[in-house]
Amino acid sequence: MGAERVAPADVRTVACVGAGVIGGGWVAYFLARGYRVVAWDPAADAEQRLRHLVDRAWPALTELGLAEGASIDNLTYEAELADAVAEADVVQESAPEELELKRRLLADIDAVTPPQVVISSSTSGFGMTEMQVNCAHPERTVVAHPFNPPYLIPLVEVVGGEQTAADVVAWTSEFFRLAGKSVITMDREVPGFIANRLQEALWREALHMVAAGEATVEQIDQSITDGPGLRWPIQGPCLTFHLAGGQGGMAHMLDHFGPSLQAPWTRLESTELTTELRDAMVEGCEREAGDRSIDDLVAERDRGVIAVLRSLGRA
Amino acid sequence: MGAERVAPADVRTVACVGAGVIGGGWVAYFLARGYRVVAWDPAADAEQRLRHLVDRAWPALTELGLAEGASIDNLTYEAELADAVAEADVVQESAPEELELKRRLLADIDAVTPPQVVISSSTSGFGMTEMQVNCAHPERTVVAHPFNPPYLIPLVEVVGGEQTAADVVAWTSEFFRLAGKSVITMDREVPGFIANRLQEALWREALHMVAAGEATVEQIDQSITDGPGLRWPIQGPCLTFHLAGGQGGMAHMLDHFGPSLQAPWTRLESTELTTELRDAMVEGCEREAGDRSIDDLVAERDRGVIAVLRSLGRA
């Protein structure tokens, strides 16, 4: 009989496999949250680059507030993968984004990590279903996708593959929540997950505009940093458009501006605005708004935008 | 011989035609920047709603810093359109987004406004070419598209129609720049201009995801506010991906991750990554980065994200 998996609250040691920009960012984050971190990376100069990255991130993390006992000294670098994962309560894999490499590496990690330990992957696009194929214990492999830099951006998208156990998805979500992350637990695999999918739609449109000579790189960036980008840390795209509907909110927005969805504003084909979709959007916004009236949300947005502008020295 | 157009720096009086959420937001902004504002709107309760909106926005504008002489008392409300524009140095039209209405209203404004005065429209999607058709002096009509709320979001997209004079586009850009706005001057009409086009691509993708049951409204908003939305007030989508390429920047990003553009991450068809497009993206990022190294940009982004998180009480 194998050892039992520790509770998410009892995780003490995180193994970070792959220590580039994302893996190194995870190392810095876990150290700042008070964990012991053991890192491994096959590249020759990986340890040096990792320590440079952590050193560079540490002042910011200190300023944001370290967890009790947090220290750069809690980082160990191991030359052998098996040594790196031996004492781990959870393993975070952050290898380059190549499917065959991820498959092999996850199988290697799986072979040397005690079977009760969760192995999660930072992949930004592959589903765990296609990555876990060579693992002997695929049920404990899961995706936990961060945003760059993982030591500052709160979002982590957690989603399992076909062979992932449901309790592993739940365990992983709880672990990252307790570690201070903003977790989205997805109940199905979607290529690109949620945030990258949205980000990618915007990015493709930007490429189309540059390709067609409709906008320059600088205009595209300025249009976001000085425009809708100032609202998005405060209210996401749905709540933003909830307010575009005036006091009528999302319902008014969709019922009155729905037809303009058909306008050729992007190269992305519009979805059909069925009654079901309309209702899902309206009810979602109402749930999100909760007790807050449109006026409350407007005031909240304005306070937020002002705070953001001031914090960036742009007020 | 008609009167000469005042220089952008000598504008004292702005006529705001249409005083709803956008028009009223413009009124509040121009008052805060020290202009005299004359407003007109055909709705029965428009004046009352306008004064409510300005009163509500004023504390925020005061906090951000009023221009010398700025006062709510510099707002006049006129019952007749002709009286509203009689003394105006520039007219800002913010009527509902209906083409026929905009055409009629712009022709009405054009008929009663001295011909040297620029008439600009807040339209979020129509081109001035299709709106200026009934104007006797179409050469002084131009689009100046703001973002909600116009009294806080800096971006204004300026673009003329086929009959707009080039010096009117230049005058309008300069006026809004002097009025404190972040101006993008477009050299051609594009449906949705730049920022709305990007925003709309993201929005359509969000609708597709909700329609397909891949994500909820709340997950979509959370994925932006806690993810890439935290970077976008600081660095737009191009500079963001410039950093995703590590020290190799946008060139590395496109040369190595270009093929993943073909992955089915959005319903938006990808553009072909020609050499020309690749070079345009790389050179644009390099121009934007200027003297700043990748390390400089990373440090800048991190400082910015921390400032944003702290300002929103989320650090």
Query: What is the per-residue pLDDT across A280-298, written as a single tens digit (0 to 9) for each?
Result: 778 877 887 888 887 777 7
**Which residue has better confidence, B273 or A214?**
A214
Question: What is the arithmetic mean of pLDDT over A229-247?
Answer: 84
At residue A270, the pLDDT reads 63
Q: What percent of chain B has pLDDT over 90?
A: 59
In chain B, which residues have their Cβ closer than 8 Å to the Cβ of A288?
A: 217-218, 221
The answer to whether residue B24 scores a pLDDT higher than 70 is yes
Alpha-carbon distance A265 to B43, whole Å?
A: 30
At residue B3, the pLDDT reads 86
Q: Is A128 exposed, middle or buried (0-12, 13-18, 19+ CB in 10 A)?
A: buried
Instruction: Please answer whether residues B25 and B155 qualify as being in contact, where contact means their C-beta atoms are separated by less than 8 angstroms.
Output: no
**Residues contacting residue A21 through CB under 8 Å, at least 6 positions apart:** A53, A148, A149, B246
**Among A135-144, A241-250, B192-201, which stretch is predicted with the lowest mean pLDDT?**
A241-250
The answer to whether residue A271 scores a pLDDT higher than 70 is no
pLDDT tens column, A56-79:
889 888 888 899 999 999 999 999
ipTM, two decimals: 0.91
Touching B: A residues 2-61, CB under 8 Å: 20-21, 56-57, 60
pLDDT tens column, B107-144:
999 999 999 999 999 998 899 999 999 999 999 999 99
Instruction: Please answer whether residues A268 and B205 qualify as being in contact, where contact means their C-beta atoms are separated by less than 8 angstroms.
Output: yes
The answer to whether residue B2 scores a pLDDT higher than 90 is no
Q: How confident is the model at residue B289 (pLDDT cuts 50, 70, 90)?
A: confident
Question: Closest Cα partner for A10 from A142, A141, A175?
Answer: A175
The answer to whether residue B263 scores a pLDDT higher than 70 is no
Distance from CA of B216 to the nearest CA of A (A): 7
At residue A88, the pLDDT reads 98
At residue B268, the pLDDT reads 66
What domains can you pick out in chain B, each with its CATH number? Answer: 8-185 (3.40.50.720), 227-311 (no CATH)
**Which residue has better confidence, A41 or B3?**
A41
Of A197, A238, A267, which has the smallest distance from its Cβ to B217's Cβ? A238
At residue A140, the pLDDT reads 98
Touching A: B residues 117-156, CB under 8 Å: 125, 147-149, 152-155
User: What angle (nearest 5°) sits at the alpha carbon of residue A54, between those of residues A50 and A60?
Assistant: 155
The answer to whether residue A239 scores a pLDDT higher than 90 is no
Question: What is the arithmetic mean of pLDDT over B300-313?
Answer: 78
At residue B260, the pLDDT reads 64
Q: How confident is the model at residue A266 (pLDDT cuts 50, 70, 90)?
A: low
At residue A297, the pLDDT reads 79
pLDDT tens column, A97-112:
899 999 999 999 999 9
CB contact under 8 A, B201 and A232: no
At residue B311, the pLDDT reads 83
Q: Which residues of B55-86 are buried (b: 16+ CB within 10 A; e: fewer)?
A: eebbebbeeeeeeeebebebbebbeebeebbe
Q: What's the whole-number average pLDDT of chain B?
A: 89
Q: How confident is the model at residue B261 (pLDDT cuts 50, 70, 90)?
A: low
At residue A286, the pLDDT reads 83
Q: How confident is the model at residue B269 (pLDDT cuts 50, 70, 90)?
A: low
User: What angle (nearest 5°) sits at the alpha carbon of residue B62, between those of residues B59 and B68?
Assistant: 150
State how beta strands B13-17 and B141-146 pair: unpaired
At residue B250, the pLDDT reads 83
Instruction: Please answer whether residues B115 and B140 qualify as being in contact, where contact means their C-beta atoms are separated by less than 8 angstroms.
Output: yes
At residue A268, the pLDDT reads 66
* Beta strand spans in B180-219 (E): 182-185
Of A268, A274, A312, which has the smallest distance from its Cβ to B266's Cβ? A268
At residue B208, the pLDDT reads 86
At residue A265, the pLDDT reads 63
At residue A63, the pLDDT reads 81
At residue B287, the pLDDT reads 82
Question: What is the arithmetic mean of pLDDT over B247-268?
Answer: 71
The DSSP symbol for B261 reads: G
Distance from CA of B134 to the nearest CA of A (A): 23
The answer to whether residue B71 scores a pLDDT higher than 60 is yes
Mutate to test the interface with A, among B54, B193, B194, B254 (most CBs of A within 10 A): B194
Distance from CA of A109 to the nearest CA of B (A): 25
Q: How confident is the model at residue A29 (pLDDT cuts 50, 70, 90)?
A: very high
CB contact under 8 A, B218 and A288: yes
Question: What is the arithmetic mean of pLDDT over B97-104?
Answer: 94
Distance from CA of A113 to the nearest CA of B (A): 30
Of B237, B260, B309, which has the smallest distance from its Cβ to A224's Cβ? B237
Q: What percent of chain B has pLDDT over 70?
A: 93
Residue B254 forms contact with A (CB below 8 Å): no
Q: Which amino acid is at A52?
A: H
pLDDT tens column, A180-210:
999 999 999 988 899 989 998 898 888 888 8
Instruction: Please answer whether residues B123 and B135 qualify as being in contact, where contact means their C-beta atoms are separated by less than 8 angstroms.
Output: no
CB contact under 8 A, B192 and A265: yes
C-alpha pair distances (Å), A191 with each of A107, B18, B32, B263 = 22, 44, 47, 8
Both tokens assigned to A71:
């220290």
**Residues contacting residue B295 through CB under 8 Å, at least 6 positions apart:** none
At residue A262, the pLDDT reads 63
